[in-house]
Amino acid sequence: MHERHGTVLNVFLNLLPAPAHAFVDEMVLNSWAVIVLLMVLAWLGTRRRLRVPRGLQTAWEMYYTFVRDFCVAEIGPGAEKYVPLLATIFLYILVLNLFGLVPGFLTPTMSLNTTVPLAIIVLVAVQYYGFREHGIRYLKHFTGDVWWLAPLMVVIEVIGQVAKALSLSVRLFGNMFGEETAISRMAALGALAFSVSYVPVPAHFINILLHLIIGPIQAFIFFMLSAAYIQTATRHEEDAEHGDQTESVQAPQGAAA
Amino acid sequence: MDYAIMMALVVGLGLPIAVVFAATAQGKAAVTAMESIARQPEAAGDIRGALILSLALIESLVIYVLLSFLLLMGKLGPVLEYIGKQ
């Protein structure tokens, strides 16, 4: 459990007194490094808020527009409330996943200690948004359609919610841990080939390319499933038909005028 | 000794069986996506997004099996030691 991967940030462990070394995990140190990096980038991007953006502000605005359009398409018209949490989750997990490719750092999401709290945050946030949107009638989501099946349905729905959070965390953890294991095994294979033939063999190159593709995809899957869970918790079914009718009535008038 | 044989079979065959079914399902998803892109090329962006999403969701089931494989693989050594000691 306490075998350490050995990263550049382990240097900071020496600043702490010796009894504290068992309590500070290098995954946490790398997560803090990612947080500091994102904070510095955000500060640099929003120092001068120009109306016509330039440089880093353009990148942040493109990112915010992408997340907001996706959330509005997925959750509905009132989605601006959920954009900060979802955008943070997406960018944070994306940078976490790709952080291990930098030599001297590792991916914090390759241990369950990082992914399970993220999934718990999404679980608690979904319940909070459900209660904020529906009030106490949110509990009716758990009971199902028929009233005499309600006790069974409550148990099944609660287990379903926990299973959703569990699957989010295990999917992210499994992908990242599997990638890291594959990279380390292929690198060991390349080292074995080098020790026999004295020709350097980067056997883990293909796995690194695969990690470059799978990291962002898994971050996007996490983000998209969180948006889908928020959508199922906060949708109003009785407003669906009215929304379609007003849209179809207003469009010809706008086109004629 | 039967326990060691069964465990070796499970560790060896669990992941390939999952991969076979997942590959079939992903192939079906990809075929449908490509046919619908051919039928309606202006919706290619939406279809591509939905395709990537479906592929990753099916992939995650294989990742669950990989997880159990990684958990069991560490236990093979102690099981063989334990059986060898008897």
**Predicted pLDDT of residue A26:** 84
| Cβ within 8 Å of residue B79, ≥6 positions away | B3, B4, B7
The ipTM (two decimal places) reads 0.74
C-alpha A51/C-alpha A49 separation (Å) is 7
Q: Determine contact, residues A9/A33, Cβ cutoff 8 Å.
A: yes
Instruction: Give the mutation candidate from A170, A171, A222 for the B interface (greatest B CB count, under 10 A).
Output: A171
A117 pLDDT above the threshold of 50: yes
Query: Out of A174, A220, A224, whose CB is closest to B63?
Result: A174
CA-wise closest residue to A27 among A176, A237, A210: A176
Residues in chain B whose Cβ is within 8 Å of chain A? 52-53, 56-57, 59-60, 63-64, 66-67, 70
Q: Determine contact, residues A217/A176, Cβ cutoff 8 Å.
A: no
Superfamily of domain covering B2-85? F1F0 ATP synthase subunit C (1.20.20.10)
C-alpha B83/C-alpha A161 separation (Å) is 41
What 8-state DSSP symbol labels residue A22? G
Q: Determine contact, residues A25/A37, Cβ cutoff 8 Å.
A: no
Q: What are phi and psi of A50, to 5 degrees?
A: -85, 150
Q: Determine contact, residues A109/A101, Cβ cutoff 8 Å.
A: no
C-alpha A38/C-alpha A43 separation (Å) is 9
| Digit-coded pLDDT (tens) for A186-208 | 998 899 999 888 888 888 899 99
C-alpha A65/C-alpha A67 separation (Å) is 6
Output A39 or B70, whichever has higher pLDDT: A39
C-alpha A181/C-alpha B63 separation (Å) is 13
- Diameter of chain A measured on Cα atoms: 78
What 8-state DSSP symbol labels residue B1? -
The average confidence (pLDDT) of chain A is 84
| Cβ within 8 Å of residue A135, ≥6 positions away | none
| Digit-coded pLDDT (tens) for B35-46 | 999 999 998 888
Counting DSSP H helices and E strands in chain B, the numbers are: 2, 0
| Digit-coded pLDDT (tens) for A125-184 | 999 998 888 888 888 777 777 778 778 888 888 898 898 888 899 999 999 998 888 898
Instruction: Give the mutation candidate from B15, B19, B59 for the A interface (greatest A CB count, under 10 A).
Output: B59
Residues in chain A whose Cβ is within 8 Å of chain B? 167, 170-171, 173-175, 177-178, 181, 217-218, 220-221, 224
A243 pLDDT above the threshold of 60: no
**Predicted pLDDT of residue A122:** 94
Chain-centroid distance of CA B67 in Å reads 10
Output A21 or A75, whichever has higher pLDDT: A75
**Predicted pLDDT of residue A3:** 66
C-alpha A133/C-alpha A173 separation (Å) is 31
Closest CA in chain B for residue A171 = B60
Q: Determine contact, residues A176/A210, Cβ cutoff 8 Å.
A: no
* Domain ranges for chain A: 8-236
Q: What are phi and psi of A143, to 5 degrees?
A: -95, -15
Highest average pLDDT, of A41-50, A156-165, A218-227, A232-241, comes from A218-227
Query: What three-state secondary structure class fits A144?
Result: coil
**Predicted pLDDT of residue B79:** 82
Query: What three-state secondary structure class fits A47?
Result: coil
Q: Determine contact, residues A85/A73, Cβ cutoff 8 Å.
A: no
**Predicted pLDDT of residue A63:** 93
C-alpha A227/C-alpha A66 separation (Å) is 13
Q: Determine contact, residues A35/A88, Cβ cutoff 8 Å.
A: no
C-alpha A141/C-alpha A128 separation (Å) is 13
